[in-house]
Structure 1
Amino acid sequence: MDLSRGLKSRHLTMISIGGVLGTGLFLYTGAALQEGGPLGILLAFSIMGSVTYAVMISLGEMVSASPLPGGAISLAARFVDESLSFTLGWFYWYTWTIFLPSELSAIAVLVNLWNTSVNNAVWISIFLVAAVGINMMGSAWYGETEFWLSYIKIFLIVGLIIVDIVISAGGVKGAPAIGFKYWRTPGPFVQAPGVGGALGRFLGFWSTLTRAAFSYIGSEIVAIAAGETQNPRKNVPRAIRNVYIRILLFYILGVFVIGITVPSDDPRLGLNSGTALASPFVIAIQTAGIKVLPTIVNAALLASGLSAANSELFTSSRALHGLAVNGHAPGVFGRTSARGVPYVAILSCAAFGALAYMSIKSSAGTAFGYLATLGSAGGLLMWWGVCVIHIRFEKGLRLQRVPRADLPYTNVLTRRGAAAKYAVVLITIILFFSGYGVFLKGAWDTPTFITTYLPIMLFPVVYGGHKLWTRCKVVPYEDMVFNVYADVQEEKEESKSRWRRLFDAVV
């Protein structure tokens, strides 16, 4: 049985927001601030935001026309070749499989703010079971859960931005105005260890790019969800069209207020601080002397963590299901229940959540750092693949003389693959130099080198190995199919209240 199309317009809108809002922004931006400084983190998130937007509009153009199960995994087989589909599928699966235990570890750290008497293994188990339960109930339940949890995320980030601006302006009784004090001392950039001068400041900024990538990866969940969405020809473009607003409002403005309220040399920013205070938002509130708010914020952060874990299990299971549907994984992973739930894929991916138990020891931050680096590299390679697919997709449109006006969604920046070409160049540079630090004199670190460059080295190996084994050929431009959306059943649009229409206009 096929996957059920249980996701409604409002679900997809909120999922598209939830995909880019999680502990990557709320918790781990602290480490990025510590490495790059306030201006460094702002530049890093702005650059990665532009890459994210380029990838999203390119992906949105393809997936709205061809809303296939598996998203880009299936698009790769249709517009490039089976080898790229195989490679992207397995890399995407491992990316989200790794992110799941990372998120569960973060949730356990957040709970520690209130209760340290209970072993973290208990909290990890509770939230893992909750994520599995929600996913096993089907896409409609998943969508409804994400809809309400994403509301919490939006109110949380907007509230935190307002609070940080008030703190910076001196609006908290007893706390002095900060302004841009921390841009002067300790300074706008942080020197990379062992490197002085302008080069050291540049390398400090560069080190934050992969952390920014970790925060943004997940935006493409809309493409995976398209295979289970009602009216994908209308609802996918609707979710894609305003993505730049979310990038500007939530991420770039978010890291800006972090940089003006928390000094980059604050020791609480380290991932191994052991408590939720590693969140720069919470640090700013605590430093300002606001007593109750940190607890409220961390409660909302817990909801954010559950939402992210929920989405990560959803995404990894759909990637595994998509691999099975395309013949790149055992067929058992393609099985669905009577309600269209890929239960075998869900349970298989959930089993990897046990990796979160590695974080029970004091080295939780270090373990997370390695997992996040592995996942970020995999996610960026997936984005790189999306760009390659779109470059061929766009050329196929031109050679077959398919009018762009006939596409459900298009963007002026995607003409002749411009956005995809921009993103593929930047992603290549970022991936190649992401682990520069290990090559500095006296700074060699084997685990960092492996987690940074192993995925990059394996990508061409997996692609080439599959190519040699199957001898599959690249899809000729004249054989590309662009009318898959015509086979998707359009369903009646759900009615919207005045408040829902206003909310859609904002987000």
Structure 2
Amino acid sequence: MQGGPGSLFIAFSFWCLIVLTITMCIAEMVSYTPISSPFVRFAGIYVDEALGFASGWNFFIFEAALVPFEVTACHFILQFWTDAIPVGATIAVIIVLYALINLMAIQYFGETEFWAAIGKVILIVGLIFFTFIVMVGGNPQKDAFGFTYWKSPGAFAELYYDGALGKFVGFLACLIQAAFSIAGPDYVAMAAGEAENPRKILPRAFKTVFYRLTFFFVLGSLCVGILVPYDDPNMIAAFRDGKSGAAASPYVIAMDRLGIRVLPHIVNAMILVSAFSAGNSYVFCATRSLYGLALEGKAPRFLKICTRTGVPIYCVLVVLLIALLSFLQLSNSSAVVLSWFVSLVTASQLINFSVICLTYLCFYRATKVQGFDRSTLPYRAWFMPYAAYVGLVATFIMVFVGGYTVFLPGMWDVPSFLFSYTSVGLFPVFYVGWKIAHKTKIIEPSEIDLRHNLAPIEEYERNYVPKPPANWFEKVLHLLFG
């Protein structure tokens, strides 16, 4: 809508390359030392304990901010059917459900989220096939429109300015959206401490996750540009003006344009379930991130208190309190509030990626200084350290570019500025505050402990006996996910 289909496709393709550099950085370190919350702890082991503290809290902010984002998205999606449901009622019901699930039914979390993830994959693959079928004429109008919308209104939209500058600004908007949308390596890394035979499994997992994400995001961006013109009035009504009754998905808008019945409601319902499921996952992840900080003495001690079933109850309550930011919709449209949360999440995610690249560079330098042979690693990243420098520079620049629109003439907006740069301001405060309070120092390459926590990992490898799949279900999982 802001940059056109060409800008969207190029931006997502380019950002996937940046994510590849980040994936390689974290994959090499985690495959060598598979510990829980690795990219947060590695920052303290390889760089500076204060950086580990700052990155830990930044990751918590990132996860916690995604909860109100998904709550807001749920109401946004519901508006396709009706605007009769009060905003406050939708928010309250969803937050209460999250509370019940995470406090009382947590034993079912893993299984339900697994099936929800399978459903999301089926939905994405189905929409990609849908795009191909309708673009070659398999639609009620028998219109083989192909890449028509790339010609009229065009592949590149002008944003704020005319000519080449406007098209560049449009591309920049698409790049910011890509930086928000494309994630993955950090979530794979989070499971490193619990993975079975991690030094063998994780290298494969990082590779396959990156390829799948690239496939889905790049093809998805191409599909959106094929299905809907960037000046579609229904899309503008939904995403720019936040009008009720408008579809919250370009795919649903395309189905309406083509006169397809029933399917738009099915897809919208699946998107709603996906958004709710994602929010529930973020409640869980944010809770465990905060709990981990408390266990390491980097958050208040009362956050370590758990119920008899092992649920860190006060951590859950803190995350649910942050979810109350969803009530900002009461005085603003869902589209506006969504854009605020996108800005906050994007900044935190980019800072996290920058820390991963910086940490890897310190790890890489330590291997050189200490004469460590990287060819013995379970996973050896390509083009290092140059790829890490590319990732660091790209993510660092994007941290500050994310909220640039507030500095354009006549576009100053206090909420947009705060949501775009709060994480940018808090991160150095966290770092400097912990550094002063605990008198930490940047670790010299020669002093970095490259064998940190390796003894139990090597002992596990010596005693590991692979378990064959116990049933057909596990065989299918092994075939699909390794």
Match of 1:196 in 2: 162
- SS at the partner of 1:242? helix
Aligned in 2, Cα 1:371/1:221: closer, same or farther, shift over 3 Å?
Answer: same
Aligned in 2, Cα 1:486/1:129: closer, same or farther, shift over 3 Å?
Answer: farther
Q: CA deviation at 1:333?
A: 2.2
How many residues are treated as equivalent by the alignment?
A: 469
Aligned in 2, Cα 1:336/1:54: closer, same or farther, shift over 3 Å?
Answer: farther
Q: Deviations over 1:117-174 (max 9, x none)?
A: 4334343334334434444468874332221101101110111111112222221132
- SS at the partner of 1:311? helix
Match of 1:159 in 2: 126
CA distance in 1 between partners of 2:407 and 2:72 (Å): 30
Q: CA deviation at 1:94?
A: 1.2
Aligned in 2, Cα 1:228/1:238: closer, same or farther, shift over 3 Å?
Answer: same
Q: CA deviation at 1:314?
A: 2.2
Aligned in 2, Cα 1:136/1:60: closer, same or farther, shift over 3 Å?
Answer: farther
Match of 2:34 in 1: 67
Match of 2:434 in 1: 466
CA distance in 2 between partners of 1:398 and 1:337 (Å): 47
Match of 2:352 in 1: 382
Match of 1:293 in 2: 263
Please point out which of 203, 225, 229 is paired with 1:237. Answer: 203
Aligned in 2, Cα 1:343/1:236: closer, same or farther, shift over 3 Å?
Answer: farther
Match of 1:176 in 2: 143
CA distance in 2 between partners of 1:241 and 1:178 (Å): 35
Matching residue's letter, 1:453: Y
Aligned in 2, Cα 1:164/1:424: closer, same or farther, shift over 3 Å?
Answer: same
Aligned in 2, Cα 1:406/1:138: closer, same or farther, shift over 3 Å?
Answer: farther
Which range moves more in the overlay, 322-331 or 100-109? Answer: 322-331
CA distance in 2 between partners of 1:56 and 1:136 (Å): 33
Match of 2:61 in 1: 94
Q: Deviations over 1:421-443 (max 9, x none)?
A: 11111112222333333333333
Asked if residue 307 in structure 1 is aligned to residue 277 in structure 2, the reply is: yes
CA distance in 2 between partners of 1:303 and 1:285 (Å): 19
CA distance in 2 between partners of 1:243 and 1:212 (Å): 17
Q: Is the 8 A contact 1:224 1:318 kept in 2?
A: no
Match of 2:364 in 1: 394
Q: Which runs of 5+ in 1 are unaligned?
A: 1-33
Asked if residue 330 in structure 1 is aligned to residue 316 in structure 2, the reply is: no
Aligned in 2, Cα 1:266/1:279: closer, same or farther, shift over 3 Å?
Answer: same
Match of 1:481 in 2: 450
Percent pairwise identity: 35
Q: How does 1:356-505 map to 2 (within 5 A)?
A: 356-361=326-331, 363-413=333-383, 415=384, 417-477=385-445, 478-488=447-457, 489=460, 492-493=466-467, 495=469, 497=472, 499-504=476-481
Q: Which runs of 5+ in 2 are unaligned?
A: none
- CA RMSD in angstroms, aligned pairs only: 2.5
Q: Deviations over 1:87-128 (max 9, x none)?
A: 111111112211101101111222333454433434333433
Matching residue's letter, 1:294: P
Q: Is the 8 A contact 2:153 2:230 kept in 1?
A: yes
TM-score (ref. length: structure 1): 0.85
Which range moves more in the overlay, 265-274 or 252-261? Answer: 265-274
CA distance in 1 between partners of 2:381 and 2:397 (Å): 25
Q: Is the 8 A contact 2:180 2:346 kept in 1?
A: yes
CA distance in 1 between partners of 2:56 and 2:83 (Å): 39
Aligned in 2, Cα 1:294/1:309: closer, same or farther, shift over 3 Å?
Answer: same
Q: Is the 8 A contact 1:55 1:386 kept in 2?
A: yes
Larger Rg: 2
Match of 1:262 in 2: 228
Q: Is the 8 A contact 2:54 2:431 kept in 1?
A: yes
TM-score (ref. length: structure 2): 0.89
Q: Is the 8 A contact 1:221 1:315 kept in 2?
A: no
Asked if residue 127 in structure 1 is aligned to residue 94 in structure 2, the reply is: yes
Q: CA deviation at 1:501?
A: 4.1
Aligned in 2, Cα 1:392/1:340: closer, same or farther, shift over 3 Å?
Answer: farther
CA distance in 2 between partners of 1:419 and 1:339 (Å): 44
Matching residue's letter, 2:164: A
CA distance in 2 between partners of 1:90 and 1:247 (Å): 26
Which range moves more in the overlay, 183-192 or 476-485? Answer: 476-485
Matching residue's letter, 2:315: A
CA distance in 2 between partners of 1:259 and 1:367 (Å): 24
CA distance in 2 between partners of 1:362 and 1:433 (Å): 24
Aligned in 2, Cα 1:113/1:172: closer, same or farther, shift over 3 Å?
Answer: same
- SS at the partner of 1:172? coil
Matching residue's letter, 1:259: G
CA distance in 1 between partners of 2:282 and 2:198 (Å): 21
Which range moves more in the overlay, 216-225 or 314-323? Answer: 216-225
Matching residue's letter, 1:148: W
Q: Is the 8 A contact 2:73 2:275 kept in 1?
A: yes
Matching residue's letter, 1:397: T
Q: How does 1:12-23 map to 2 (within 5 A)?
A: none
Which range moves more in the overlay, 80-89 or 462-471? Answer: 462-471
Match of 1:277 in 2: 247
